[in-house]
Each structure stands twice: as C-alpha cells, then as structure tokens.
C-alpha cells in the first residue's frame, strides 16, 4: 500500500489496525528487505532531495544513487546534507568500481568523488531528477508544500527502503 501512495492512517483504517501497529510492521518489513546486489563498473547518477521530520524546523536530506542504465536505486542515506551523509552513498559507488558518477554542482561532491570519475554535465542527471518527481508524487511526505511529515528518521528510512527495494 505504501508503494501506491497510501498513507499510514489510511492503511490503519483499511486494515482496521492501529497506526502504531502499522508503523511497527513497516519497520519490521524494511529490516527484512535485502538490498539488490550492486553491479560493477557502471555509470551512476547521485542527487539529493530535502524533506522534514516532525515539522519544518528539522530539515533532512535524502541522498541516493541510481544506475543510469537500469534506473534502479543502488544506495541511499538519510541525514543532514554533509560529507558523512553524501559520503555513505558515494563510497558505495566507489567500492563498486564505478566508471562515471554524475552529480549536480554541489561542492561537497568535489571532495568526495575523484575528478576522473566525477562528471557535471548539463542535463547529466535527468534520470534521477525525474525519479525525484516520481518520489514526490508517490510519497506525500516528500512533497515540498505539505503538512504530511515523517515523525522519525527511522520510519522515513523504512518507507524509502520498502519503496526502493520492496
């Protein structure tokens, strides 16, 4: 139901269970999902998008990477927009022997990605920008102007895990 854009409260009404039970089941299901194996020597796109936890005072960054050929999400992390959060995704790509990593002009990427692998081209990250739009359309908690926020980073990570790999 999450993949179809149904919210937590709607799921609890449909299944006639409490919202707490729905959240517990979401986190349990997310822990059981195994990430897809990463293919070696591929081209990737990396981008970040912002959302909020609890209210508009606590902004978090969702950084993720997709394979340019298959458009599958390879890795993601949720946290502040800093070297640590972005580095978790970039290190996964570097360990997979990436041929090329395309990003936007965020200066943090310049310090994380070796210059021979890094590419910043006009229209270089069209696929992942389209994926951002799809995510915002399917998951209301990621919309820019909304009152639907995740209440915890754990639940947000679980929902993204289910959406990407479930």
Give the Cα separation of 115 and 111 in Å (integer). 9
pTM: predicted TM-score of the whole model, two decimal places:
0.92
What pLDDT is recorded for position 93?
Answer: 96
| Contact of 71 with 131, CB cutoff 8 Å | yes
43-152: CATH topology: Nucleotidyltransferase; domain 5 (3.30.420)
Residue 144 above 90 pLDDT? no
| Contact of 19 with 27, CB cutoff 8 Å | no
| Contact of 6 with 162, CB cutoff 8 Å | no
* Distance, C-alpha 22 to centroid of its chain: 21
Tens of pLDDT, residue by residue over 38-71, are 889 999 999 999 999 988 889 999 999 999 999 9
Domain limits of the chain?
Answer: 43-152
Give the Cα separation of 164 and 166 in Å (integer). 6
What pLDDT is recorded for position 84?
Answer: 96
Give the Cα separation of 3 and 129 in Å (integer). 19
How high is the mean pLDDT of the chain? Answer: 93
């Amino acid at each position: 139901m999450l993949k179809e854009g149904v919210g937590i409260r709607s799921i609890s009404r449909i299944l006639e269970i409490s919202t707490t039970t729905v959240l517990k089941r979401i986190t349990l299901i997310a822990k059981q999902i195994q990430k897809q194996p990463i293919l070696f020597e591929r081209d990737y796109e990396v981008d970040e998008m912002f959302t909020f936890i609890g209210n508009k005072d606590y902004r978090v960054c969702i950084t993720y990477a997709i394979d340019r050929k298959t458009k599958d999400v390879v890795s993601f992390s949720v946290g502040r927009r800093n070297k640590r959060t972005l580095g978790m995704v970039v290190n996964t790509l570097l360990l997979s022997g990436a041929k090329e990593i395309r990003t936007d002009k965020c200066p943090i990427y310049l310090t994380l990605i070796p210059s021979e692998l890094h590419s910043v081209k006009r229209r270089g990250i069209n696929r992942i920008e389209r994926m951002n739009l799809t995510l915002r359309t399917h998951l209301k908690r990621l919309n820019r102007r909304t009152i639907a926020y995740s209440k915890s980073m754990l639940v947000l990570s679980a929902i993204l895990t289910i959406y990407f790999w479930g």
